[in-house]
Every structure is written in structure tokens, then in C-alpha cells.
């Protein structure tokens, strides 16, 4: 039986967000929401991460950074865009330096809307991400066979 979904390690990257969503992401790790009970670890290392959580939109400076982080993560991996900014560019969409949401540079699996996204919906997104993570792991295994 695969238990891979019981250990989803998270990498949080802050694009050009207003920090509103970032604070909500951090709130998820506090005693009130405690995402660690699902086995989630907030890691800073893309090589150890399974779920890539992006807040804020993509600008011309962080574009290459986001791509690199994504490429450094070993398969299977899931990308979650948290907040309207990461989904579409949000309130900053029309700015001269903003390219748009995270999906303008890397494939995004799950979109969590909200400005700021509430911790409940972030956890909801992570739980969906975890289910997808398991699916991808099984698909990868099947492809190997």
C-alpha cells in the first residue's frame, strides 16, 4: 500500500505578493491550524519538497527563480497557486513588470482563490494537492513498470 501521501513536504515561495497570503500560509503551521498533523513539513529545500506552494504573481525578476525551483524538485510533485495573485496576477495584473499568475511559467495543478486566501481554503488546497500527489506517484510507478 502506498503511504506516499502521508508525507507531503511543502516548499513555500513568495513571488510578488503583498505578503497577505504569506501570512495566511504561515498561519497554517501555527497551533490553531497545525498542518503538521497531516505530515506536512514546511521545508526550505526544493530537493526535499513534494508540494510547491506559490503566493503572489510572476514578475520578470522571479520568473527564472520559480522555474529553477520547479526543476529542482524531484518527481512526483504538485504545484499549488495560493491567492488571486498567484492564480491570475490579481490586483497587480496590469503592472508593467507582472507577467501574470504562476501558470505563466510552470504548470499549476491546484488554484486556491481568495485575497487573501483563508487558512481553511489553503489547507483545503493542500489536502487536494496531497490526493493529487498520491495519484501522480502511482502513475509514475505504473509508468516505470
Partner 1 sequence: MTERIIIAVLYVILAPFVIGLLDGFDRKISARMQGRRGPSVLQPFFDLKKLFEKEFLTANKSQLFMIRSYLVFIVLSGILFFGGFDILLVVFSLSTAAMFLILASTSTHSPYSAQGTHRELVQIMSCEPMELLVAVGFYLATKTFNVNEIIAGSAISNIVYLPGFFVGFVFILTIKFRKSPFDIATSHHAHQEVIKGVTSEMVGKEYGMVTLAEWYENAILLGIVGLFFLNSNPVSIVGAIIAILVVWFLEILIDNTSARVKWQLMLKLAWGVTIIAAGMNLFLLEIIMG
Please tell me the number of Cα atoms within 13 Å of 16 on its side-chain side: 20
From 26-34, 78-86, 95-103, 127-135, span contacting ligand SF4 (CB under 6 A) = 78-86
Integer Cα distance of 16 and 92 in angstroms: 9
Among 14, 72, 93, 124, binds partner 1 (CB under 8 A): 72
Q: Name the nearest CA neighbour of 58 among 23, 14, 19, 21.
A: 14
Q: Which three cell numbers stand for residue 86?
A: 498567484
Q: Which stretch binds ligand SF4 (CB under 6 A): 16-24, 34-42, 69-77, 132-140?
A: 16-24
Nearer to partner 1, 51 or 105 (CB): 51
From 61, 74, 118, 135, residue interacting with partner 1 (rule: CB under 8 A): 74
Which residues does 85 contact at the CB level (< 8 Å), separation at least 6? 15, 16, 17, 18, 21, 55, 56, 57, 91, 92, 101, 115
Among 17, 59, 62, 88, binds ligand SF4 (CB under 6 A): 17
Q: Of 24, 43, 4, which Cα lies nearest the Cα of 124? A: 24
Report if residue 100 touches ligand SF4, rule: CB under 6 A: no
Q: Which does 44 bind (CB under 5 to 8 A by kind): partner 1, ligand SF4, none?
A: partner 1
Told to check if 83 binds ligand SF4 by CB under 6 A, we report yes
Amino acid at each position: 500500500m502506498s503511504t506516499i501521501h502521508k508525507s507531503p513536504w511543502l516548499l513555500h515561495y513568495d513571488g510578488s505578493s503583498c505578503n497577505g497570503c504569506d501570512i495566511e500560509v504561515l498561519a497554517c503551521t501555527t497551533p490553531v491550524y497545525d498542518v503538521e498533523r497531516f505530515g506536512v513539513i514546511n521545508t526550505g529545500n526544493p530537493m526535499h519538497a513534494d508540494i510547491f506552494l506559490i503566493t503572489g504573481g510572476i514578475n520578470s525578476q522571479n520568473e527564472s527563480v520559480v522555474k529553477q525551483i520547479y526543476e529542482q524538485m524531484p518527481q512526483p510533485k504538485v504545484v499549488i497557486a495560493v491567492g488571486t495573485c498567484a492564480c491570475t496576477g490579481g490586483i497587480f495584473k496590469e503592472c508593467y513588470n507582472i507577467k501574470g499568475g504562476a501558470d505563466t511559467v510552470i504548470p499549476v495543478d491546484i488554484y486556491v482563490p481568495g485575497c487573501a486566501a483563508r487558512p481553511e481554503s489553503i489547507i483545503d488546497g493542500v489536502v487536494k494537492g496531497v490526493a493529487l500527489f498520491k495519484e501522480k506517484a502511482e502513475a509514475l510507478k505504473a509508468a516505470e513498470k
